[in-house]
């Protein structure tokens, strides 16, 4: 109820503040029998680790994950998997002054209003470090999905006004911006360099694709595949818009142009186009799931800003600390993680949707 738990069957409980002792997560409901070790998770965490490029905060964190439970002899046991990342580079003194005022674009004011006070060090619970827990859980979800030949891939689609022209998957991990288009990377770097030189920041777009998802996943009415993805993605800090398939452009299309025609292909029902982004009526249709997350620029900027302090005075402030000039590259893996968690959870929920499935599991009649 308090908002730090996500999912229904594959259920993720997170904790931790930016400058507390640790951040972490318990995954409850991971199926037994999945090979899993700390490296599987670390690979994902390394993709969001700070200090890896010119465009991420110089705060150095090892971000090493420790698995405390739920694994035995290299496999998940079906019991809760607890994962912890200790915070090692807390320079809380950088934040002592922000105790007294509300940073524009941050949750300082709203936390105070909600809880009466706040852990102001580095944003506390509203810090981007919270996403470590998402990524760790997402790594586990991805491992399960892989067993079913389902793959989730995210990348940077746009930085500020620089959008990719081509989608070259091999390119993604070759640049620190995680863009699948080498030319776009160069342009984007220029934008970021300029923005940073001014003490300002930029936003961008992350796109995510799910391949291999069987049709039938997603629950009609409220818990549609796209609805659950929308929540998952918009829950990531700084996301201001969510699209599936043609997204906002669908609103300017016509029914005839927007409908995806069906035709038989290799003996299977398939869609000739994918305007819908892989879902019909909130249920996966067997084609690629395609979503987009729009991120606002990092609110922590070094330019002078106007705000108020706790004494109720209008003041001008310059924010200190270590901040990314753009959130997007490090958020790519977060989008991927939230998508994986959501897809897996709905896939598990779908198992009981008809009696035939239930008989398959319990009656062993098809053995």
367 binds a second copy (CB under 8 A): yes
Residue 113 in 3-state DSSP? Answer: helix
Least distance in angstroms from the C-beta of 162 to a second copy: 10
Interface mask (CB under 8 A) for a second copy, residues 200-239, using x and -?
Answer: xxxxxx--------xxxxxxxxxxx-xxxxxxxxxx-x-x
CA 338 to chain centre: 4
Of 93 and 254, the one with the shorter C-beta distance to a second copy is 254
Least distance in angstroms from the C-beta of 287 to a second copy: 11
CA 111 to chain centre: 22
74 binds a second copy (CB under 8 A): no
Q: What are the tokens at 309?
A: 């302090």
- Site residues (CB under 8 A) for a second copy, limited to 298-337: 298-301, 303, 305-308, 312-314
Of 296 and 322, the one with the shorter C-beta distance to a second copy is 296
128 binds a second copy (CB under 8 A): no
Of 180 and 245, the one with the shorter C-beta distance to a second copy is 245
User: How many residues sit in the footprint of a second copy (CB under 8 A)?
Assistant: 169
β 283-284/268-271 pair status: unpaired
Non-local CB neighbours of 124 within 8 Å, separated by 6+ positions: 17, 18, 19, 20, 111, 118
Beta bridge partners of 15: 24
Of 51 and 308, the one with the shorter C-beta distance to a second copy is 308
4 binds a second copy (CB under 8 A): yes
Least distance in angstroms from the C-beta of 53 to a second copy: 18
Among 52, 247, 321, 322, binds a second copy (CB under 8 A): 247
- Residue tagged 């229904």 (tokens): 8
- Site residues (CB under 8 A) for a second copy, limited to 94-113: 102, 104-107, 109-111, 113
Q: What are the tokens at 63?
A: 């971000």
Check: CB of residue 187 under 8 Å from CB of residue 156: no
Least distance in angstroms from the C-beta of 249 to a second copy: 8
Non-local CB neighbours of 312 within 8 Å, separated by 6+ positions: none
- Site residues (CB under 8 A) for a second copy, limited to 25-44: 26, 28-34
CA 276 to chain centre: 21
Least distance in angstroms from the C-beta of 313 to a second copy: 7
Beta bridge partners of 204: 159, 295
Check: CB of residue 128 under 8 Å from CB of residue 20: no
């Amino acid at each position: 109820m308090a908002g730090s738990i996500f999912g229904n069957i594959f259920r993720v409980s997170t904790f931790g503040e930016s400058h507390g002792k640790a951040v972490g997560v318990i995954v409850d409901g991971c199926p037994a029998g999945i090979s899993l070790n700390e490296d599987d998770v670390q690979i994902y965490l390394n993709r969001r680790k700070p200090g890896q490029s010119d465009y991420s905060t110089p705060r150095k964190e090892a971000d090493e994950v420790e698995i405390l439970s739920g694994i035995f002899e290299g496999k998940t046991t079906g019991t809760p998997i607890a994962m912890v990342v200790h915070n090692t580079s807390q320079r809380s003194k950088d934040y002592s002054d922000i105790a007294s005022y509300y940073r524009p674009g941050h949750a300082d004011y709203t936390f105070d209003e909600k809880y009466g006070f706040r852990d102001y060090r580095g944003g506390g619970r509203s810090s981007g470090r919270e996403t470590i827990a998402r990524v760790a859980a997402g790594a586990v979800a991805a491992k399960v999905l892989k067993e079913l030949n389902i793959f989730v891939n995210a990348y940077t689609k746009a930085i500020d006004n620089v959008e990719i022209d081509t989608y070259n998957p091999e390119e993604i991990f070759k640049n620190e911006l995680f863009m699948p288009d080498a030319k776009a990377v160069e342009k984007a770097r220029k934008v970021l360099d300029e923005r940073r030189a001014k003490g300002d920041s930029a936003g961008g777009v992350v796109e995510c694709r799910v391949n291999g998802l069987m049709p039938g996943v997603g629950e009609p009415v409220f818990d549609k595949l796209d609805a659950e993805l929308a929540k998952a993605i918009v829950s990531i800090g700084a996301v201001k818009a969510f699209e599936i398939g043609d997204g906002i452009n669908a609103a300017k299309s016509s029914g005839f142009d927007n409908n995806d025609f069906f035709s038989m292909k290799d003996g299977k029902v398939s869609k000739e186009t994918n305007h819908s982004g892989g879902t019909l009526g909130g249920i996966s249709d067997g084609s690629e799931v395609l979503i987009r997350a729009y991120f606002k620029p990092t609110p922590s900027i070094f330019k002078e800003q106007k705000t108020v302090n706790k004494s109720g005075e209008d003041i001008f402030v310059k924010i200190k600390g270590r901040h990314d000039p753009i959130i997007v590259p490090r958020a790519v893996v977060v989008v991927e993680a939230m998508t994986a968690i959501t897809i897996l959870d709905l896939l598990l929920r779908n198992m009981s949707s008809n009696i035939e499935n239930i008989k398959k599991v319990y009656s062993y009649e098809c053995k």
